[in-house]
Amino acid sequence: MSLTFDEIPYDWQKPGVYTEVKPVYDRMGLTEYPARTLIVAQKLAAGTAVAGTLYPITRPEEGIAYCGAGSVGADMVKAYKAANRTTEVFLTALADAGAGVAATGTLTFVGVPTTGGALALYVEETRIPLALTAGQTVAAMATAAAAAINALTDLPVTALAAAGVVTLTARHKGEVGNGISLAVARTIGDTIPAGTTVTVVAMAGGATNPDVQTVLDAIANEWFTDIVFPWDDATNLGKIAADFAERYKAMGRKDAHAYIGSKGIYSDLVTKGAITNSPFISIIGAKGSPSAPWKWAASLAGVAAFQLANDPARQLRSLVLTGIVAPDSKDCFIDSEQNLLLKKGISTFNRVSGGTVTIDRVVTTYKVSNLNVADTAWMDIMVPKTASRIRYDWSAYFTLTYPRAKLAKDNSLAAEHADAVVTPKRALGSWAARCTLYERRGWIEQSSETVSRSVFECDDSNKNRLNSRLRIIIIGNMMVLAGSLEFEV
């Protein structure tokens, strides 16, 4: 084989020892995967973030500066950083839509306390203690409640009292306000002084979210592996699904996965799951949780971004969603409902002792093929994540190993004698070596079989092109153990 050099001229005549130094990548390990998260948030006027600008986030409190106290963005940054402190994360934020409508809810005080005592109000996870006195009027109780709520600037609502009724208004305009939970005397030990009652009307009426297309356009050329959104309306979900499908294509090469939280009863979540059929969107749904949907999404994104960067093929079951408060047991979905929700594209969770939330199964919203046939090929988040990881590593490895290679057919004189030549057989050998590495990491299995079904061939009409078909079997996960326990009599 005749050798060629990158730095030494072929006709150099001056005597001396000239040696190029360059790496050989034949035995290189896995390419470092650049996991990057983007938090797409909604900001208040007090936030300094400029639409379309990406801000690196290192501390939880930065969400307040960029998005304002009591904002969706501040909540999302805090929830994400509670779950993940190491993955590189950025923030971009949009202001409320100009035509947006803020959600409202009410607390209505009725009666007169016969004795003094404590009353606990709740806005999301925050407990707001209120000291009532015997004989206090409904107007006085409502005024005190509104003052206590307004004193907490981190809350996502403001309060106004009138005639015994506290009207709570979301700080943000848009549908996000509908996800804010309100409660009275929610936990064990909370009391309501005798003689009075408080009626809660849930937050509702929020309408018109910001247009996510602004963000999608701004990050069109940016690499992000995990992106969390606060909006679950049909218009924005459709745009995310279409954009992420393009990002994942061979010519897009900017693989990303979207995380979204949704709140509602079983039928509401089934409706949400039906909006998209995307392998690149995971929606986690909860009924009755004190934690807002955007916090669920941010926490899930934090866990997934860290764990799936470490091992894209390993399920997320049993991992804790830090800072997320589970619904009461009566509001948790039963097993049969969870099973149906998974089939409808909604990820599920479990409530364990003390109200801790653990992941049950993270699925995508993909349910049917392009021919509308039921299909589970892309059901679990590990499938697109593992395929993305292998594609990224293989592309990096091949580029580093054959950066300036010539292309020749197998068994040609050029293949046998010329330097810096790649052939279909050599490419297949490289693919086999990488598959062995992937299998050792537990990402795929049966690589000896799939490599035999992989193909590399020179293009018939373009001498500069090598075509390939790369077969893999992504490893499964131990999710269901079915058995028959038989006893002898």
Ramachandran quadrant class, 140 (left: phi over 0; alpha: psi -120 to 50; beta: rest): alpha
Question: How many other β-carbons are positioned within 10 Å of the β-carbon of residue 200?
Answer: 16
Give per-residue pLDDT as tens, 104-133: 999 999 999 999 999 999 999 999 999 999
Domains of the chain in start order, with CATH, are 36-97+209-384 (no CATH), 102-204 (3.90.1160), 403-489 (no CATH)
Q: Is the pLDDT of residue 42 over 90?
A: yes
Residue 275 and residue 208: Cα distance in Å, rounded? 17
What share of the chain has pLDDT > 70, as a percent?
100
Give per-residue pLDDT as tens, 388-407: 999 999 999 999 999 999 99
By the 8 A CB rule, do 95 and 66 touch?
Answer: no
Predicted confidence band of residue 234 (pLDDT cuts 50, 70, 90): very high
Q: Is the pLDDT of residue 1 over 70?
A: no
By the 8 A CB rule, do 301 and 293 touch?
Answer: no
Give per-residue pLDDT as tens, 217-229: 999 999 999 999 9
Query: Cα–Cα distances in Å, from 76 out to 69, 229, 241, 246, 299?
Result: 12, 9, 21, 26, 8
Sequence-distant (≥ 6) Cβ neighbours of residue 267 within 8 angstroms: none
Sequence-distant (≥ 6) Cβ neighbours of residue 42 within 8 angstroms: 67, 71, 72, 73, 93, 94, 95, 96, 172, 174, 176, 209, 210, 230, 231
